[in-house]
Amino acid sequence: MFSQTNQVYPVIWHNDSVSLIDQTRLPSEYAFVEISRSEDMAVAIKTMIVRGAPAIGVAAAYGMYLGAREIHTNNRDEFLHHLENVADMLRCTRPTAVNLFWAISRMIKVAYETLGSVGDIKKALFQTAQTINAEDLQTCQAIGDNGLKVLPTRLEQLTLLTHCNAGALATAGYGTALGVVRSAWREGRLTRVFADETRPRLQGAKLTTWECVQEGIPVTLITDSMAAHCMKQGMIDAVIVGADRIAANGDTANKIGTYSLALVSKAHHIPFFVAAPLSTVDFSLSDGSQIPIEERDPTEIYQVGETILTPAGVEFYNPAFDVTPAELITAIITENGAFAPGELKQLQLKQMV
């Protein structure tokens, strides 16, 4: 699934099914999971075989088509009723990533608006899923180039810090935050990437470093608690992260630990950027307090492999995301350009005109 430039494509339609890179096995094993049923796609999203808001959206779109393919009726109303059930199943997998809901809503809209037979609807759903896939790849490349325009100009060579994985593995390819990194590397403006390990799932340690190694981008792994020290030592020029949901005022939900990273960036006068497609902005939410935060299995905290890390009797709290207030964000980088968080509402008004 690599091109000649080692580009990663984590969600691909191949041989009448969806081929997913199994991200739970990286970096030790580069393996694929073939998905041909909607229920299996729901499991793949829930268990983080596929992860990252844009990639989840693409996977969900294909999941909707797989579900449509499983519905055996020529009655339009019956078909749409069953399709709504498929949508409900997929919506329950990851509550924070808004691209999931965006993609499902787009597929449902196409189903209702497509005239003709049930077969015509299924064909339209497949074409829409492929379009969402292709659009996301183009969007990420635009985000990368737009991010390059707003990176600090006082230095010709930059060292960037990122959190979690917002790379090709989290999208249809190229990445959002790592898309900016890739564009900076391509243009000769990047010296090195520092990657937070990103506890408890270690997406930075396992996935971000893996992507950088594939492309020869210099990368240094640090623990989450080392970021402030590295900033104080003058080792970081800018921070760039992805997003799973952005409220209308710019408050941003991203992997747990992002909020604290934004706080220490502010304390050290280091710009803090969020890179995400416009589909990640949920204009129905006025601020970040309305963003649902997924809580995951506590085994992610207390167990590594077969090893239990804690004594019996300990209680656990494992939110997968936190919300970074808009005032800590320098700019939100999208496919349409970079915007101050407060400019998002104006952007929404322009889209409605």
Tell me the C-alpha distance between 96 and 290, whole Å: 11
Amino acid at 45: I
Helices 118-150, 98-113: crossing angle, 10 deg rounding: 140
Beta carbons of 62 and 18 less than 8 angstroms apart: yes
Residue whose pair of structure tokens reads 């207390």 in the numeric block: 302
> What backbone phi and psi angles, to 5 degrees, belong to 227?
-60, -45
C-alpha 107, offset from chain centre: 19
Beta carbons of 218 and 143 less than 8 angstroms apart: no
DSSP 201-236: TTHIIIIIHHHHHHHT--EEEE-GGGHHHHHHTT--
Tell me the C-alpha distance between 345 and 287, whole Å: 12
The H or E element that residue 331 is part of is strand 331-334
State the CB neighbour count (10 A cutoff) for residue 155.
12
Say whether 196 is catalytic. Answer: no
User: 244, 251, 282, 322: which is the annotated catalytic residue?
Assistant: 244
List active site positions.
244
